[in-house]
């Protein structure tokens, strides 16, 4: 009788998991709870703080507050699901060679000083930050981890309630930058949501185009590092232009770009290196 009950229980779980397997086949499944995004992000942040050689902090309080305020404005728009759940905190990296920004699961955002100095206006920076926020909001990292596990592992977890091993699986699924390597579809979705978020602000929603121009106009290791985690096919540029056209958004004004204010901000960075 006990064996029969176990079989029936497994059968019921199998019936319940069929929709999940369908989602897995469609690459839309995430078996990790929200707390796992938060835990992973906090763990990565701790490791980054320890590795000051690779991630040298740019301890400029005014500059950090400037970028953090932009993030706060973006996370305050409709459509942000995890405000108050994810950290959405900014750390600036003192590196004038690497044009990069990234966001971990759980909303820890890292911006390199080279990127701050490279983009021409505040709308471009805001759009890049919105793109990184979108990676966290869409939970791209833990979705990729689910895909990495495969349907067989997902089925095993579902049938036998084997959720105790999720944390270990998460730790082993990706290491280092592998967790942050975005697919082309992830990048396009993050672009789309960046456009949505910025459209709810006073910034120009096509700000990513200015950033794309920066990346396209430069060559070398600094840009290669960025492209290793953020692919930039022509599709991303075309899709951004298409979104602007479909939304009937015309040429940007200075009020939408905030070039003058941003130039003043860049001058404040000047030659200051890791000052208080």
Q: What is the DSSP string of 264-275?
A: HHHHHHTT--S-
Q: Is residue 1 part of a domain?
A: no
The alpha carbon of 117 is separated from its chain's Cα centroid by a whole number of angstroms, namely 21
The owner of tokens 């009937």 is 248
Instruction: Say which residues have a Cβ less than 8 Å from residue 221's Cβ, sequence separation at least 6.
Output: 97
Q: 52 is in which domain, residue-wise?
A: 6-269
Query: pLDDT band at 31, cuts 50/70/90?
Result: confident
Structurally, the chain folds into a number of domains equal to 1
Structural domain includes residue 275: no
**Tens digit of pLDDT for each residue in 93-121?**
999 999 999 999 999 999 999 999 999 99
pTM above 0.85, yes or no: no
Residue 274, in any domain of the structure? no
pLDDT digits (tens, 9 = 90+) for 181-194: 667 788 999 999 99
Per-residue pLDDT of 36-88, as tens digits, reads: 899 889 988 998 999 999 999 999 999 999 999 999 999 999 999 999 999 99
Give domain status of residue 135, yes or no: yes
Question: Do 130 and 194 contact (CB within 8 A), yes or no?
Answer: yes
> Is 244 within the bounds of a domain?
yes
Q: Does 146 reside within a domain?
A: yes
Q: What Cα–Cα distance (Å) separates residue 170 from each residue in 72, 93, 147?
A: 29, 26, 12
222 assigned to some structural domain: yes
Nearest to 87 by CA among 100, 71, 98, 99: 71
């Amino acid at each position: 009788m006990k064996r029969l009950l176990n079989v029936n229980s497994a059968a019921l779980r199998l019936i319940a998991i069929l929709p999940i397997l369908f989602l897995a086949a469609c690459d839309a499944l995430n078996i990790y709870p929200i707390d796992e995004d938060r835990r992973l992000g906090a763990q990565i942040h701790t490791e980054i703080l320890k590795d000051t050689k690779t991630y040298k902090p740019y301890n400029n309080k005014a500059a950090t507050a400037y970028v953090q305020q932009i993030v706060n404005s973006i996370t305050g728009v409709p459509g942000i699901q995890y405000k108050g759940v994810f950290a959405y905190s900014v750390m600036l990296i003192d590196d004038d060679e690497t044009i990069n920004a990234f966001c971990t699961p759980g909303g820890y955002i890292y911006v390199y000083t080279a990127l701050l100095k490279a983009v021409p206006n505040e709308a471009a920076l805001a759009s890049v930050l919105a793109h990184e926020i979108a990676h966290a909001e869409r939970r791209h990292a833990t979705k990729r981890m689910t895909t990495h596990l495969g349907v067989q592992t997902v089925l095993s977890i579902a049938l036998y309630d084997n959720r105790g091993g999720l944390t270990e699986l998460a730790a082993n699924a990706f290491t280092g930058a592998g967790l942050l390597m975005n697919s082309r579809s992830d990048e396009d979705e993050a672009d789309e949501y960046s456009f949505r978020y910025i459209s709810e602000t006073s910034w120009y929603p096509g700000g990513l185009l200015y950033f794309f121009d920066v990346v396209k106009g430069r060559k070398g290791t600094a840009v290669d590092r960025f492209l290793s985690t953020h692919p930039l096919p022509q599709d991303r540029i075309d899709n951004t232009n298409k979104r602007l056209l479909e939304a009937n958004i015309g040429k940007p004004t200075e009020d939408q770009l905030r070039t003058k204010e941003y130039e003043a901000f860049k001058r404040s960075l000047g030659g200051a290196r890791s000052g208080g």
